[in-house]
A and B are shown apart, each in its own frame.
Chain A
Amino acid sequence: MTTGTQKAQVAGPAGVPSAGGGRLASPAARLTGLGLVAVVALIFPLVFTNATISNIAVQTVIFIAVASAWNIFSGYSGYLSLGHAVFFGTGAYAVGIIARDANVTGDTVFALLPLAGLIAALVAVPLGLVALRVRRHTFVVITIAFFFIAQLTASNLAITGGSSGLLAPVPNWTAATFNNPFYYAGLLIAAATVALSAVIRRSRFGLQLRAIRDDEDRAVGLGVRAMPVKLTALVISAFVCGLAGGLWFYFIGQAFPQFVFDPLFDLAIALMAFFGGLGTVAGPVLGALVLEPTQLYLTLKLTNDYLSEILLGAVFLVVILFLPRGVLPTAAELAGRQRARWQRRGDRL
């Protein structure tokens, strides 16, 4: 019994190669990598002052946050949502409406973001209570339906400005560093979301979510209270999307129903998570880092706007066909196999 217990402890943090299907790097290497990423992220706008690049950087950090938030719900619970634009758009409109009606401008608009997150989280509660009663394809279809309801509502209400949309207050920051406040606000949201995602993944709550993903009925039969667990994950996810949507609105400067509630947004964040590795912490980050700049760059460079969307679709196909588990889990498996090969070779010598 004692040997087994010791084995279990080793299998946890130290990471036996087989644990969880292989790890890409040792804890020390991870920590160093994390530090490097943090430094690069912090000094990025100081090094690249070009407005085009910093514009792409702002949208990339926003999508890191949103893709990670989507993954906290969909990646961990297995309930694939194609309606997260509802929360993103709700956040955008919340900031827009409050800023317009309460005459909020400048830095103070950032203070509205938590409120935007809260409103999006509130919207998620009734949606979740309805949609989370069904599973799989039915769930996906219901989230799409919610998406269209939100879009139609936004185009027809007076408070949202209808189809003529909303304008954000224009900040009076100096042109040279205009994008920086947006970038750092986005970076803060992204970093907090990724940290939360990591904490959730190894927590009791995260374990319950992943058990639901694997076999919900079995999990329920082992005492997991499925509905509250799923709903909490959805609400957390919606909160971050609301925050990010509010920031995005302030950055872009306007909100129209068809752009704020954009079906491509839903596909893009799902693709980012799938690309990097669904249900992993780093996967959606990698996905957003690769796909968002690529897409924005292509939209800028190619005069034909649709070409980037076609390419996005092509990437989706390639990922589903060749990397169904995503880049990171596949890379981890290959690394584990390679390590095992070296070990065998070492044993023979």
Chain B
Amino acid sequence: MTVALRTEGIAKAFGGVQALSDATIEVEQASITGLIGPNGSGKTTLFNIITGYERPDAGAVYLHDRPITALSPQRVFAAGIGRTFQLTRIFPRLTVMENMLVAQQHGHRRRVSPLSRAGSQSDRQRAMAQLEFAGIAGQAGELAGTLSYGQRKLLELAYVLVADPGIVLLDEPAGGINPSLVGLIADRIRALNAAGVTFLIVEHNMEFVMSLCQHVTVLDYGTVVATGPPEVVRADPRVLDAYLGTGEDDQAEADEAEADEQSGQR
């Protein structure tokens, strides 16, 4: 039981809003860990800090005991942490295949001339295998902008996976897509996890989280209020309190992304 990813005492404020304070989480190697909490509790901010999109005011992030705090996003990615975004982000004017190839630019391929054709035969084959796995291989030649929302989610997952990250951070993989696709995505995650990939998942769909995750961490107002196996966390009074509220739930959203998503979700 080794820890793959760890944050220690992360603090982050946006103006007067303390999005995170002393956020300490651990993600076990080869686990599926859920990160839950009410809107504005700092989940996406924590993701952004882990992946280098934002710098913490205090605290540190460790990948297998190696500090990766405030590395640039491309270095975090090169270190083996891939992520998806809450509001799915693909390259709409590239084809689906080209989307896949963007993620395969780093590492040993640096020796290849930058003017050589994008995507070697083996890159394309690996990309195609991932697209098969995601079930969108038939659209490889289409512009990614023509995909449906659910297909975009699958594409984003596929191109993050094609680079073989050891740890994958998923920001609401089940948000805004139909139930059958949610089941498909859960199956994909389980299969990859069985192959050794570590997952940290932010998700509002409780059924999804409780059925998938071996371990759940709950954030509220930027701090960890509970952590443990799903059935324990589910019964924790502090978690019920955070979710059902004590009447002070109209707290301003800590970060804009979560505010956006709130309107999309309800």
Contacts and interface: CB of A to CB of B under 8 A. Distances in A.
A220 B132 contact: no
Nearest to A205: B114
Contact of B94 (A5, A7, A16, A210): A210
B91 A211 contact: yes
Contact of B89 (A5, A199, A215, A279): A215
A215 B90 CA distance: 7
Contact of B83 (A18, A21, A204, A221): A221
Contacts of A11: 95, 97, 140-141
A123 interface: no
Nearest to B127: A8
A5 B89 CA distance: 25
A217 B93 contact: no
B132 A4 contact: yes
Given A8-B97, A223-B78, A18 B118 contact: no
Given A214-B93, A218-B91, A4 B131 contact: yes
B103 A223 contact: yes
A217 B76 CA distance: 13
B128 to A, nearest CB: 5
Nearest to B105: A223
Contacts of A220: 72-74
A203 B116 contact: yes
Contacts of B137: 4, 7-8
Contacts of A19: 95, 141-142
B70 to A, nearest CB: 14
Contacts of A199: 115
B77 interface: yes
A9 B140 CA distance: 10
Given A203-B115, A207-B101, A214-B91, A222 B141 contact: no
Contacts of B118: 202-204, 206-207
B62 interface: no
B252 interface: no
B105 A224 contact: yes
A204 B138 contact: no
A8 B74 contact: no
A72 to B, nearest CB: 12
A9 B74 CA distance: 29
Nearest to B129: A1
B132 A204 contact: no
A208 B85 CA distance: 19
B105 A221 contact: no
Contacts of B116: 203-204
Contact of A224 (B102, B141, B143): B102
B4 to A, nearest CB: 19
Given A211-B91, A213-B93, A8 B140 contact: yes
Give the residue among B53, B102, B138 with the most A Cβ atoms within 10 A. B102
A82 B53 CA distance: 29
Given A4-B131, A217-B73, A222-B77, 19 more contacts: A1-B128, A5-B128, A8-B127, A9-B124, A11-B140, A12-B124, A20-B95, A20-B141, A204-B109, A204-B119, A217-B53, A217-B89, A219-B102, A220-B74, A221-B76, A222-B105, A222-B159, A223-B78, A224-B105
Interface of A: 1, 4-5, 7-9, 11-12, 16, 18-21, 199-200, 202-208, 210-211, 213-215, 217-226, 279
Interface of B: 51, 53, 72-74, 76-78, 83, 85, 89-95, 97-98, 101-103, 105-107, 109, 112-119, 124-125, 127-129, 131-132, 137-138, 140-143, 159-160, 163
30 contacts: A1-B129, A7-B141, A12-B141, A18-B142, A19-B141, A19-B142, A200-B115, A203-B115, A203-B116, A204-B119, A205-B115, A206-B118, A207-B98, A207-B105, A208-B105, A210-B98, A214-B90, A217-B73, A218-B90, A219-B91, A219-B102, A220-B74, A221-B74, A222-B74, A222-B77, A223-B77, A223-B78, A224-B74, A226-B74, A279-B93
4 closest pairs, A vs B, by CB?
Answer: A11-B141, A223-B106, A214-B91, A4-B137
